[in-house]
Structure 1
Amino acid sequence: MKKSLFKSFVALALLASMSSCATVLGGRVTEYQRTKPAPGKPAREIRGAALIADVILFWPGAIIDFATGAIYRPR
């Protein structure tokens, strides 16, 4: 019982880490993507395809992409 619970947890963690499309497929995250724009500056653009893929495949992946900044288009 304990072993199957552990395997399920590992599988879920692996699924969660591999499902954030922009983080996995977006390439290297630039400093522009990581930093929040200053007040009065234009907002960063979001990669639409990556956001849609995150929502359809595994929505917590979108949280990971926003946290890492990978969801934003590089400059």
Structure 2
Amino acid sequence: MKKKLGAKLLILLVCASVLLPSCATVFGGPVSACQRTKPAEGEPARPIRAVALIADVILFWPGAIVDFATGAIYKPCD
């Protein structure tokens, strides 16, 4: 029984890694409220996690779209 559960969990993890290959979303940790909100007029742009962006572009470029949509690509606020 444990062997079947382990195999199902492995299949689930593989499917999730294929469907969500965006690096910042998977490995970046929780997304804070300031990462989700857009800067107002006149405010400076939010800094981007360069390593996650480069990894998204090299590994699977649609992952960058997911990272930008969730706000996970932006560095957390202090």
CA distance in 2, matches of 1:71, 1:16: 17
Counterpart of 2:19 in structure 1 is 16
TM-score by length of 2: 0.76
1:29-66: CA deviation from partner (whole Å, max 9, x where unpaired): 00000000000001100000000000000000000000
Equivalent pairs, count: 64
Secondary structure of the 1:66 match is helix
Structure 2: gaps spanning 5 or more residues = 1-13
Counterpart of 2:39 in structure 1 is 37
- RMSD (Å), alpha carbons: 1.6
- Does the CA contact (< 8 Å) of 1:16 and 1:61 recur in 2? no
1:67 aligns with 2:41: no
Show structure 1 runs of 4+ deviating over 4 A: 11-14
Structure 1: gaps spanning 5 or more residues = 1-10
Identity of aligned residues (%): 69
